[in-house]
């Protein structure tokens, strides 16, 4: 199954400095961080094939069968077996013998979590089969495993948004006053702007913050009281946050 890698903006929170909004959220199940990794490995074994020592080996059909997948926080471990069908001639007679060879290999789990989906595609490369005098066959099969990995996740997104009437009609705010706020652990400029009915851009400009995604605990943030001014000068479009 083919897939493409894309970045998507999903709205998980919103507010408007000029309009009271109510919204609900819903949880969706999705996957992310899809990537592929390739692992080459070799399967070696000695197989006893009756009556093959006096014959001529014509062909060997190799079919890999992946039986088990174990996921840990550090490794993805696969195990299975190779189904081998030996076709050889002996005294003008065409013969066929089946054999199974177990294998196991692992790839690094870069997600460091067992909450992932994995899918492996096995392909057969070069093969070598040497017949010994006692009817034993030295088997060497080069394999390539393509592992596709993606991470499961549940996220909450905005479902319904509704503007509600503002019951507070007080208009005696001091337009020129400021609030001094000290950044606390877990704060972001988005959270501060939402709490004080401002915007990230306004706070960034007011406080000379070049990177609005980086604020420090204990940092002083000056917050102008713009909430009433905005009712007269904005177009009532809600500010949104994307993750």
Total-model pTM: 0.55
Q: Phi-psi bin for 114: left (phi > 0), alpha (psi -120 to 50), beta?
A: alpha
Model pLDDT for residues 161-195, shown as the tens digit of each residue: 887 776 555 444 444 567 889 999 999 999 998 88
Q: pLDDT averaged over the chain?
A: 82
Model pLDDT for residues 96-110, shown as the tens digit of each residue: 999 999 999 999 998
H or E element at residue 50 = none
Residue 206 sits at φ, ψ, to 5 deg, of -65, -35
Model pLDDT for residues 50-84, shown as the tens digit of each residue: 888 777 889 999 999 999 999 999 999 999 999 99
The residue-averaged pLDDT of 200-207 equals 91
Spatial contact of 107 and 121, defined as CB atoms under 8 Å apart: no
């Amino acid at each position: 199954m083919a897939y493409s890698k894309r970045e998507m903006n999903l709205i998980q929170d919103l507010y408007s400095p000029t309009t009271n909004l109510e919204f609900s959220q819903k949880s969706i199940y999705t996957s992310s961080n899809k990537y592929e990794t390739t692992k080459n490995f070799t399967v070696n074994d000695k197989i006893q094939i009756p009556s093959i020592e006096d014959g001529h080996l014509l062909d060997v059909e190799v079919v890999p069968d992946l039986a088990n997948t174990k996921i840990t926080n550090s490794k993805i471990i696969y195990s299975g077996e190779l189904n081998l069908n030996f076709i050889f001639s002996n005294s003008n007679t065409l013969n066929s013998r089946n054999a199974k060879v177990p294998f196991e290999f692992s790839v690094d789990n870069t997600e460091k979590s067992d909450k992932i989906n994995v899918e492996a595609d096995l392909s057969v490369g070069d093969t070598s089969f040497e017949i010994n005098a006692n009817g034993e066959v030295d088997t060497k099969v080069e394999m390539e495993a393509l592992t596709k990995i993606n991470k499961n996740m549940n996220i909450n997104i905005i479902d319904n948004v509704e503007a509600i009437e503002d019951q507070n009609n007080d208009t005696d705010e001091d337009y020129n006053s400021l609030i001094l706020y000290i950044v606390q652990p877990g704060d972001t400029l988005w959270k501060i702007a939402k709490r004080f009915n401002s915007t990230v851009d306004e706070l960034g400009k007011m406080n000379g913050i070049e990177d609005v995604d980086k604020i420090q605990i204990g940092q002083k943030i000056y917050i102008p009281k713009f909430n009433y001014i905005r009712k007269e000068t904005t177009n009532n479009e809600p500010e949104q946050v994307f993750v």
